[in-house]
Structure 1
Amino acid sequence: MKKSSLLIFLCATLVSCTGNSQKELKRYQIKSGIVSYESTINGKVLGSTMSGSGTETIYFKDWGAIELKDEKSTQNTQTKIFGKKTEEKEESHIINKLDNGEWFTVDFDTKEIIAQRSIPMDMITAFHPDADAGDVGRGMIKNLNGKMIGEEDYMGYKCEIWEAMGVKQWVYKHFTLKIESTVMGITTSKKATNIQFDINVPDSNFELPDFPIKKTENFFSNENFDEDMDMDMESIDEDMDKLSKLSFTEWKKMALADKEDDEMQNMSEKELREMYDMIQKMVKMRQGK
């Protein structure tokens, strides 16, 4: 699905609130750990029925400044068109690594590693340079009409339960142990099944496959981030101001203008309304309203 650069920026800003700045990458209130998860997904969207399961292991040290995620999943999609049923099975293996602001993504299809600056880490530096990660995250959720709905013991760890936009998260010291969500007809669940905190995590757990590394530049690359930030932020703020004044009908017309965006074109009125509401909430969050 194609996305506008502004929508990508908004999502990056949202995600950035879960980390801390480049100057002090203390993302969690836990020094190190190894956590294993099991996940499921099921539901119906755009005429297709989806189901799947997966596993994930997170290794981290230095308060989350160095972290590797190894995820494997299988997903089945059944589609019925004009009485004919088709089924597609997709297997995925994803490894991502964060190393003090540098982001590495392993592509097992091309057998290469994509390296770039972590947009969330650079964004948090620009917008919340002195903020505590937990405070920023709580503020973000509240601005999305979210709230803490209680506390619960999960596998021996006292977690805060936060809910926003159909997503519930069980969070222990800024680290998420459980997620449940139902968004646009798709229900997903990810639960920690084995938790080891404040242990010695061997360096071998952070090693990437022996693939060539391909460095890429992104919008917030180190070389031009500082010199272009004032100009870029001014332009982005102008775009956000324009978005905040658009009615749903006006935004819908703009969003559907790209006839080649098949997924956007096939969205129902309800799904378009949910996306519009999400964008408006994120714009208000950025504007501090």
Structure 2
Amino acid sequence: MKKISILLSIIVALVSCDGNSQNQLKRYEVKSGIVKYSTIISGKVLGGKIAGSGTESLYFKNWGALELKEQESEQTTTMKFFGKEKVETSSSHTMSKLDNGESYVADFKTKTITANRDLGMDMMKQSNKDAGEAGMNMLEAMGGKKVGNESILGYNCEIWDVMGAKNWIYKGVMLKMEVTMLGITTVTEATSAKFDVSVADSNFNLPDFPIQKMEGFMNNDEFNNELNEMDANMENIQKLSFEEWKKMATKNDPEMKEMSDEELRQTYDMIQKMIKMRRGN
């Protein structure tokens, strides 16, 4: 259902954009930053021990519209079976990049890059919410609660408890995280942090690996073109009856033709509802 998923993604983004495609995406309340982290993993599972460590580098500019993270980690699992000890070590090296809605994940083990569309970034392009308010609403929607404040590297952080994980957040940027799951505790904490500084473009380069585009991927130009076309046609779509829309939608689309009337009706109703939300009706 590739075309349906793309269509609904675009409409959701249109609803959140509130008619202003020129809104500047602000994921953080600081314009730029460079943060270095260290991670410690420890715990017991099924009678064995797990220990690990890792490092992470975060670079961002333009309020987080452009961001790159590089993570390296190593984990050792020690198990005992009938008095014999078995040790297994695994490692990981990844790099992820967000660019105004485009998402790329590079895996240094497989030497591939996966490209996708980050709908969350598109939905944050809202004219009536700043980064702090949008972030707080997102945390609360996930059941999160603010449980205090603490200074990390001299930055006053809000402490949020979200789904059993504690996050220390400074102006939208995570500076510390503690999570325990299935007996394994992971602690990630910033070892250095600089904000509102110059960040060189070279820090956002991905490795020269082949790119695999996921279903529904569009680059920013393609996505914005789809938004503009959808915006221009929304009034006409809203006026269509179900039968009129069904005839138009299934005319040249084999995937739509395979949908039942119930599925088509659900899609039609969702589209109409989102258009009304978009127009503030």
Structures share fold, TM-score greater than 0.5 = yes
In structure 2, distance between residues paired with 1:122 and 1:145: 22
Tell me the secondary structure at the aligned position of residue 95 of structure 2: strand
What's the counterpart of residue 151 of structure 2? 153
2:207 paired with 1:171: no
Quote the Cα distance in structure 2 between the aligned partners of 1:129 and 1:218.
Answer: 26
Tell me the SS of whatever aligns to 1:208. coil
Work out the CA distance in 1 between the residues paired with 2:165 and 2:269: 29
Shift of the 132–184 alpha-carbon distance from structure 1 to 2, 3 Å rule, reads: farther
Question: For residues 104-152 of structure 1, what are the alpha-carbon distances to aligned partners after superposition, in whole Å with 9 as ceiling and x for unaligned?
Answer: 1112233222212124324656xx7854443343234335543212112
* Separation (CA, whole Å) in 2 of partners of 1:205 and 1:219: 24
Could you tell which deviates more after superposition, 62-71 or 36-45?
Answer: 36-45
Decide whether aligned partners of structure 1 residues 136 and 91 sit closer, same or farther in structure 2, where only a CA change above 3 A counts: same
- Aligned partner of 1:108 in structure 2 is 108
Which residue of structure 1 lines up, in the alignment, with residue 199 of structure 2? 201
CA distance in 2 between counterparts of 1:50 and 1:233 reads 50
Q: Trace 1:63-102 onto structure 2 (pairs within 5 A).
A: 63-102=63-102
Q: What amino acid sits opposite 1:107 in the alignment?
A: D
Distance 1:198 1:178 in 2: 19
Q: Which has the larger radius of gyration?
A: 2
Aligned partners of 1:117 and 1:217 also within 8 Å:
no
Contact 2:69 2:97 in 1 (8 A): yes
8 Å contact from structure 1 (residues 28, 173) kept in 2: yes
**Mapped partners of 1:124, 1:112: distance in 2:** 28
Structure 1 residues 150 and 201: alpha-carbon distance in aligned structure 2, compared to 1, 3 A threshold: same
Cα displacement (A) at 1:166: 2.2
CA positional deviation for 1:233:
9.6
Aligned to 2:243: none
Quote how far apart the aligned CAs of 1:48 are. Answer: 4.0
**Residue 80 of structure 1 contacts residue 86 of structure 1 at CA under 8 Å; is this kept in 2?**
yes
Name the CA distance, whole Å, in 2 between partners of 1:123 and 1:86: 47
| SS in structure 2 at match of 1:120 | helix
Identity rate of aligned residues, in percent? Answer: 48
1:83 to 1:224, Cα distance in 2 relative to 1, 3 A: farther
C-alpha distance in 1, partners of 2:176/2:86?
33
182, 186, 189: which one pairs with 1:191?
A: 189
Q: Distance in 2 between matches of 1:132 and 1:200?
A: 23
Alpha-carbon distance in structure 2 between the residues aligned to 1:218 and 1:90? 32
Alignment partners' CA distance in 1, 2:34 and 2:269: 38
Q: 1:172 Cα deviation (Å)?
A: 0.8
Deviation at residue 155 of structure 1 after TM alignment? 1.1
TM-score, normalising length: structure 2? 0.65
Distance 1:123 1:109 in 2: 32
**Aligned equivalents of 1:29 and 1:155: distance in 2?**
17
Within 5 Å, give how 1:1-289 maps onto structure 2: 23-122=23-122, 130-218=128-216, 231=267
CA RMSD of aligned residues (A): 3.2
Change in CA separation of 1:233 and 1:186 when aligned onto 2, cut-off 3 Å: farther
SS, match of residue 137 in structure 1: helix
Structure 2 residues not aligned, in runs of 5+: 1-15, 231-248, 250-255, 257-263, 271-281
How many residue pairs get matched?
213
CA 215–194 in structure 1, closer or farther in 2 if over 3 Å, else same:
same
Deviation at 1:79, TM superposition (A): 2.6
TM-score by length of structure 1 reads: 0.64
Unmatched segments (≥5 aa) in structure 1: 1-19, 235-289
Paired with 2:127 and 2:182, the residues of 1 have a C-alpha distance of 34
- The structural deviation recorded for 1:33 is 1.0
- Using the alignment, how far apart are the partners of 1:142 and 1:92 within structure 2? 31
- Could you give the per-residue CA deviations for residues 31-53 of structure 1, whole angstroms, max 9, x where no partner exists? 11111001111112345421100
Kept after mapping to 1: 8 A contact 2:124/2:134 = no
CA distance, structure 1, for counterparts of residue 115 and residue 217 of structure 2: 14
Does the CA contact (< 8 Å) of 1:42 and 1:188 recur in 2? yes
Give the C-alpha shift of residue 216 in structure 1: 1.9
Q: CA deviation at 1:30?
A: 0.6
